[in-house]
């Protein structure tokens, strides 16, 4: 009798397996080469193999109830070793599970990072003072920490003020919070394990936060938000202009992003079942404007020639000074910047991908509202930014939206027909970045768009592709392409891609492609010399390389060389949280990378115009 | 014809010269081996040889008017090279003159200190930003400072916030104030030379402050005050008790000393003709209680067994946090402590005398309200404190007073007669510490006091010393010795030394002498092995060694071995201000010195009782 098997889909990468009936999810994942941390060997005691089963999750086993927080169980989290496959399943491997001990994983890259956080919490037993041991309280504490290997620490006078009372109330057995080289706070000894930090990637459009257990290096919970500053401008220039126009504009934008970060801290802490007061440090990567707005540094000179930042340094500030609601004595570390339009997010990408330590010629693209491009080897790294605009993040596109439920995220031309896929298989609501690229690629492939990007008339297309020609409609006096009609949507309106939308895509992909060409030229290399193309960012992570090549977003690179590295900027922020020594490396990267100012290149405009064209369509 | 000469007395050490008519004061001083800085060679251009001529100062020369501030001229300051001796003169060499470039002088000790202050002010020219040089303002500034040799600096985010506007208003030519490793403030380039610090010795009874030009290392002005906390207790225990009794006592005592320090800053700045806003750092030595009160550290546990301090570390705090009115971004450095009753003042004495670097066995006594005793060599240093009480500072003595105008500072027994000397030759007002020692020594010598310290009756003394016997009077039911009768005083009352006063002196000298003996025993040395006895402190500075030996304050040491080192604690504070590298040495000293707790020694009480006795008198 043949063994019964069930189909199991692992998200986010969609890998599909046929799993023998009764096997555990952990065994199935391991058999398929999907890495889940399970140091306990599947006994249900290490909680390393946490997965989410969004629909019809089996009841939690005893081990699940013991190892997981109530909040986690409610959001259908289970231990993979405790779940036996007895029917078809969709399994989501959350980011915290994908991140191993002392490793920072992004989709395609795994970097070993020694656990050496800037924040440590150490339980110590002090001998109580006596007439034969009259050391001061501060020195008694520092001596005890030195015995644990934490040497050369200091105690700030503010901490010393509470020290005598605090030490005595804890009966000389405190859990000491050490931040950097300073013993800053004393907790009860039972709280010694509660030591967290949160790494933030503050993007122009999207915020991502990774609550991280600093005793293990593992991500405990992830939170994300749309950047609420977006209401005051799609891109950084618009926000800087807003700050110039409105007297308290900068203060207002700072408060908005800090409020969102505080919500994210609270949300992640709720999920991980800890209090925000055991979060002691925040690390942050972000572009220069996001960095300056958060730190309350002036931004006007960023947007005005010759475009200089106030400070490109890494900064360490009091969380309180910034307004962040973590431990009252907590700190904020902001990673250093490369230039006014190449920020700490790019430093994060470089750290996470290890481009600064590699001998291979690699090209990294982080396509957000700005496109940052890094090219080079450990010998020489170039970076530039190019104004991709927010099209790929759903803005300025008539039916554009973020990659959320109901977003068309995939469009395939099958003969004359369009096959659409929406996120969560929900009725179509709009079009996210990947769907936009796919749709445009399909239109190029189907001969609807010419090289110039002009949409052809229905009658021109009708001869070859009658089904596609029927999708060419007018909308508000411009041509448009019907992706989904009323019946396919929930909203009762059709989803169109307009001529203007296509122009936005052309501007975006032209900016990126021209940037890549200029960088190659500056480096003295050809695209064929590039050994690996790394696509970073929430958007880059879901792009289909062949589609990106079809529209010319990636100029002439072999599909096999493209690798997805996920939110590498965020991974960089996590690395800086988990290992303080990397902060020196971040400084070296930020000062060592050569910044290329594209707008200063006399031939950039011509390249850009050229790069806006599409590769010749099939028609 | 023999050349006419004039008598010139140089204060404070009283050296007297016969100076040929018409010679300059500088030439006279140099001929007598009195060191005055005069790098200009006497041309009146370096202002190094500043002296004060308290009475009948000659009119200021043109050079004096040019080199000295109006305030200085009003207080009779002149350049010694500009004053020709044409009559008898009394000349005071102010402390700022006695301190040479890169040397810290105390009365008897001169220590070379490299000029390497923690605060530096450097004028830099930055290339303005351009499209071909888009470095951030912060990095532009740090690069320019690095070119001047100030590498590895950082800019705090608070400073960076003002940086763009400030750099542009100064047209990219700022004078940068660097404190520690941080560029903290930008001044106009013209202000580059105005860079000061103030070193404080905060004693239980006396405050001394040394305003120091950090571009030269020279003291620019000195200010002193009685510690206003004295109203709340003579000694540290009384003040700690006050803080325990009164809810806001500690806050009140902190405010008192800070107010006094602010007055001293203002006074010294007025004298030096600078603004307090160009004072960027304060260094402070003081005993543990003074240190803790100033820093708002809790003091209760200092006075309660087992007598531990909150923190013995050096601390760096914001001047603003402490309440000090110097530059708003200025800092305070407090030197580290050795133990609860051996404070940073003792660390200062060790640094200033170099005991931690010497191979010779030396003994240092800093006799203030507490007596601190240090004994040893670079191999091993012991320190203890002994409760001398405030007798030598004039407190608890019926007619005691500080060493000010009208204080009897010298008493000599000439046959049967007493020769008194008062400060400034004014009518007698009271008796200061040195006068007290002299008077008691005279009474021992004259047979008025027996070994036990009991004052003999007039009839017992009358046979041998009738004139002295007449001075033995009754006062409020106790015996007393008449030092000056009504006619010799301004106040209309006589000045007496009572039996109780003698007991106070016995307690004080007994505590010191017993401490010295215990230390020698612990070290395994005899008093004869000690190569040098260093007397520190405002009081020690004026003591006459033979008198101190006569009363047994210094047990059995040869007079020739005694050296005065002045306010060595204050000299230590100046060294720490002028050379930041010494702060590490201070930490090493504070942690390396062995603290001897006298009260824990079973035989201390017996030694103390023994040491209270006087050496047998002549009678």
> Which residues 6+ apart lie within 8 Å of A75 measured at CB?
A52, A271
Inspect the interface and report whether the beta carbons of B160 and A311 lie closer than 8 Å: yes
A residues 148-207 closer than 8 Å to B (CB): 154-158, 160-161, 163-165
pLDDT of residue A491 exceeding 80: no
Q: Is A428 on the interface with B (CB under 8 A)?
A: no
Rounded distance between C-alpha atoms, residue B259 and residue A387, angstroms: 57
Q: Which of B155, B158, B310 to mutate to test the interface with A (most CBs of A within 10 A)?
A: B310
User: How confident is the model at residue B97, as a pLDDT?
Assistant: 62
Residues listed for chain A = 619
Q: Tell how far CA B41 is from the center of its chain.
A: 30
What is the secondary structure of B521-573 as a DSSP string? HHHT--GGG--EEEEEHHHHTT--HHHHHHHTSS-S--GGGEEEEESHHHHHH
User: How confident is the model at residue A377, as a pLDDT?
Assistant: 96
Closest-approach residue (CA) in chain B for A133:
B306
Inspect the interface and report whether the beta carbons of A136 and B161 lie closer than 8 Å: no
Mean pLDDT, residues B198-212: 93
Helix (H), strand (E) at residue A183 = strand A182-187
User: How confident is the model at residue B588, as a pLDDT?
Assistant: 94
Confidence category of residue A149, pLDDT binned at 50, 70, 90: confident
What is the secondary structure of A102-149 as a DSSP string? TEEE-SS-EEE---B-SEEEEE--PPPPBTTB---HHHHHHHHHHHTT
Round the average pLDDT of chain A to a whole number and report it. Answer: 89
Q: Looking at B100-166, which runs of residues are DSSP E strands?
A: 103-105, 110-112, 119-123, 154-155
Q: Which of B250, B313, B347, B385 to mutate to test the interface with A (most CBs of A within 10 A)?
A: B313
- Residue of A326, A329, A292 lying closest to A310 (CA atoms): A292
Inspect the interface and report whether the beta carbons of B160 and A600 lie closer than 8 Å: no
Rounded distance between C-alpha atoms, residue B512 and residue B5, angstroms: 46
User: How confident is the model at residue B101, as a pLDDT?
Assistant: 36
CB nearest to A134's CB, from B136, B321, B340:
B340
> Which residues 6+ apart lie within 8 Å of A521 measured at CB?
none
Q: Is B115 on the interface with A (CB under 8 A)?
A: no
- Kindly report, residue by residue over B566-612, the tens digit of the pLDDT: 889 999 999 999 999 899 999 999 999 999 998 888 899 999 999 99
pLDDT of residue A618 exceeding 50: no
- Kindly report, residue by residue over A168-208, the tens digit of the pLDDT: 999 999 999 999 999 999 999 988 889 999 999 999 888 99
Helix (H, G, I), strand (E, B) or coil at A167: helix
pLDDT of residue B102 exceeding 50: no
Inspect the interface and report whether the beta carbons of B161 and A315 lie closer than 8 Å: no
Collect all residues of chain B within an 8 Å Cβ-Cβ radius of residue A600: 131-132
Rounded distance between C-alpha atoms, residue A185 and residue B504, angstroms: 46
Confidence category of residue A32, pLDDT binned at 50, 70, 90: confident
Q: Which of A403-407, A513-517, B278-282, B293-297 has the lowest mean pLDDT?
A: A403-407
A residues 289-328 closer than 8 Å to B (CB): 295-298, 300-301, 305-313, 315, 317, 321
**Chain B closest CA to A471's CA: distance in Å?**
48
Rounded distance between C-alpha atoms, residue B513 and residue B420, angstroms: 27
Q: Is A459 on the interface with B (CB under 8 A)?
A: no
Using CA atoms of B16, B17, B22, B27 in order, give the dihedral in degrees to the nearest 10.
Answer: -100
β pairing state of A206-213 and A154-155: unpaired
Helix (H, G, I), strand (E, B) or coil at B355: helix
Question: How many other C-beta atoms are found inside a 10 Å radius of the C-beta of residue B499?
Answer: 16
The first and second tokens of residue B82, run together, are 């500009």
- Residue of A213, A12, A217 lying closest to A94 (CA atoms): A12
Round the average pLDDT of chain B to a whole number and report it. Answer: 89
8 Å CB contact between B511 and B385: no
More confident residue, A604 or B148: A604
Confidence category of residue B617, pLDDT binned at 50, 70, 90: very low
- Kindly report, residue by residue over B279-306, the tens digit of the pLDDT: 999 999 999 999 999 999 999 999 999 9
The first and second tokens of residue B413, run together, are 């027994």
Confidence category of residue B2, pLDDT binned at 50, 70, 90: low
- Kindly report, residue by residue over A571-599, the tens digit of the pLDDT: 999 999 999 989 999 999 999 999 999 88
User: How confident is the model at residue A9, as a pLDDT?
Assistant: 86
Mean pLDDT, residues B490-519: 91
**Chain A closest CA to B139's CA: distance in Å?**
6
Share of chain B above pLDDT 70, in %: 94
- Residue of A416, A135, A281, A61 lying closest to B311 (CA atoms): A135
Question: How many other C-beta atoms are found inside a 10 Å radius of the C-beta of residue B157?
Answer: 22
Q: Is A231 on the interface with B (CB under 8 A)?
A: no
Q: Is B601 on the interface with A (CB under 8 A)?
A: no
Rounded distance between C-alpha atoms, residue B367 and residue B505, angstroms: 13
pLDDT of residue A1 exceeding 90: no
- Kindly report, residue by residue over A82-102, the tens digit of the pLDDT: 999 998 888 877 655 654 334
Rounded distance between C-alpha atoms, residue B493 and residue B489, angstroms: 7
User: How confident is the model at residue A214, as a pLDDT?
Assistant: 94
Mean pLDDT, residues A368-394: 88
SS3 of chain B: helix, strand, coil, percent, to 5: 35, 25, 35
Collect all residues of chain B within an 8 Å Cβ-Cβ radius of residue A140: 308
The torsion angles phi and psi of A258, rounded to 5 degrees, stand at: -65, -40
User: How confident is the model at residue A601, as a pLDDT?
Assistant: 86
Inspect the interface and report whether the beta carbons of B310 and A129 lie closer than 8 Å: no
Share of chain A above pLDDT 70, in %: 94
- Kindly report, residue by residue over B513-565, the tens digit of the pLDDT: 999 999 999 999 999 999 999 988 766 667 888 898 889 888 788 888 988 88
pLDDT of residue A568 exceeding 70: yes
User: How confident is the model at residue B312, as a pLDDT?
Assistant: 97
Question: How many other C-beta atoms are found inside a 10 Å radius of the C-beta of residue B564?
Answer: 20
More confident residue, B491 or A356: A356
8 Å CB contact between B284 and B231: no
What's the first-to-final CA gap in chain A, in angstroms?
Answer: 52
Confidence category of residue A107, pLDDT binned at 50, 70, 90: low
3-state SS record for A26-82: HHHHHHCCCCCCCCCCCCCCCCCCEEECCCCCCCCCHHHHHHCCHHHHHCCEEEHHH
CB nearest to B129's CB, from A297, A308, A597:
A308
Ordered strands of the A417-422 beta sheet: A417-422, A407-414, A430-431
> Which residues 6+ apart lie within 8 Å of A2 measured at CB?
none
Helix (H, G, I), strand (E, B) or coil at B462: helix
8 Å CB contact between A317 and A331: yes
The first and second tokens of residue A265, run together, are 């801290």
User: How confident is the model at residue B98, as a pLDDT?
Assistant: 55
User: How confident is the model at residue A54, as a pLDDT?
Assistant: 80
β pairing state of B381-386 and B594-595: parallel
The torsion angles phi and psi of A301, rounded to 5 degrees, stand at: -70, -10
Q: Which of B160, B181, B291 to mutate to test the interface with A (most CBs of A within 10 A)?
A: B160
- Kindly report, residue by residue over A294-304, the tens digit of the pLDDT: 999 999 999 99
Rounded distance between C-alpha atoms, residue A99 and residue A104, angstroms: 6
User: How confident is the model at residue B139, as a pLDDT?
Assistant: 96
pTM: 0.79
Q: Tell how far CA A605 is from the center of its chain.
A: 31
């Amino acid at each position: 009798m043949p063994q019964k098997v069930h189909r199991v889909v692992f998200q986010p990468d969609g890998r599909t397996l046929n799993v023998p009936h009764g096997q555990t999810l952990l065994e199935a994942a391991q058999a398929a080469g999907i890495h889940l941390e399970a140091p306990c060997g599947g006994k249900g005691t290490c909680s390393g193999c946490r997965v989410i089963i969004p629909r019809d999750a089996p009841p939690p086993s005893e081990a699940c109830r013991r190892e997981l927080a109530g909040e986690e169980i409610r959001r259908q989290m289970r231990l993979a070793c405790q779940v036996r496959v007895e029917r078809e399943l969709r399994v989501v491997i959350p980011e915290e599970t994908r991140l191993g001990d002392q490793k920072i994983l992004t989709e395609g890259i795994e970097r070993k990072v020694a656990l050496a956080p800037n924040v440590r919490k150490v339980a110590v037993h002090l001998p109580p003072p006596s007439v034969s041991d009259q050391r001061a309280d501060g020195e008694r504490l520092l001596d005890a920490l030195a015995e644990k290997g934490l040497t050369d620490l200091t105690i700030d006078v503010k901490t010393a003020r509470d020290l005598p009372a605090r030490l005595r109330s804890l009966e000389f057995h405190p859990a000491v919070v050490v931040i950097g080289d300073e013993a800053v706070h004393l907790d009860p000894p039972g709280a010694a394990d509660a030591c967290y930090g949160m790494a933030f990637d503050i993007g122009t459009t999207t915020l991502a936060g990774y609550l991280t257990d600093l005793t293990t290096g593992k991500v405990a919970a992830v939170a994300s938000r749309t950047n609420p500053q977006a209401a005051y401008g799609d891109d950084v220039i618009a926000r800087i202009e807003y700050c110039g126009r409105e007297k308290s504009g900068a203060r207002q934008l700072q408060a908005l992003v800090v409020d969102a970060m505080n919500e994210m801290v609270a949300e992640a802490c709720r999920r991980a079942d800890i209090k925000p007061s055991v979060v002691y440090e925040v690390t942050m990567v972000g572009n220069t404007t996001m960095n300056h707005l958060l730190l309350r540094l002036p931004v006007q000179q960023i947007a005005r020639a010759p475009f200089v930042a106030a400070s490109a340094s890494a900064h360490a500030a009091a969380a309180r000074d910034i307004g962040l609601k973590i431990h009252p004595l907590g700190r904020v570390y902001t990673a250093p910047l490369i230039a006014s339009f190449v920020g700490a997010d790019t430093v994060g990408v470089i750290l996470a991908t290890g481009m600064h330590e590699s001998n291979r010629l690699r090209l990294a693209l982080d396509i957000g509202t700005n496109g940052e491009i890094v090219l080079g080897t450990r010998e020489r790294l170039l970076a530039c930014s190019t104004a991709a605009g927010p099209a790929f993040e759903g803005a300025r596109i008539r039916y554009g939206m973020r990659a959320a439920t109901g977003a068309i995220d995939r469009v395939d031309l099958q003969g004359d027909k369009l096959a659409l896929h929406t996120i969560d298989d929900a009725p179509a609501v709009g079009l996210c970045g990947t769907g936009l690229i796919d749709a445009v690629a399909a239109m190029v492939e189907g001969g609807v768009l010419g090289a110039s990007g002009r949409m052809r008339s229905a009658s021109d297309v009708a001869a070859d592709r009658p089904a596609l020609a029927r999708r060419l409609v007018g909308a508000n006096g411009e041509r448009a392409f019907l992706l989904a009609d009323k019946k396919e949507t929930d909203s009762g309106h059709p989803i169109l891609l307009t001529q203007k939308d296509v122009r936005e895509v052309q501007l975006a992909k032209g900016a990126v492609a021209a940037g890549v060409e200029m960088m190659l030229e500056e480096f003295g290399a050809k695209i064929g010399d590039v050994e690996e193309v790394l696509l970073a960012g929430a958007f880059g992570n879901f792009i289909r390389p062949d589609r990106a090549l079809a529209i010319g977003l990636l100029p002439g690179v072999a599909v096999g060389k493209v690798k997805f590295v996920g939110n590498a900027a965020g991974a960089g922020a996590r690395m800086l949280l988990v290992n303080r020594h990397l902060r020196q490396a971040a400084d070296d990267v930020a000062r060592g990378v050569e910044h290329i100012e594209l707008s200063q290149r006399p031939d950039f405009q011509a390249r850009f115009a050229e790069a806006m064209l599409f590769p010749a369509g099939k028609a």
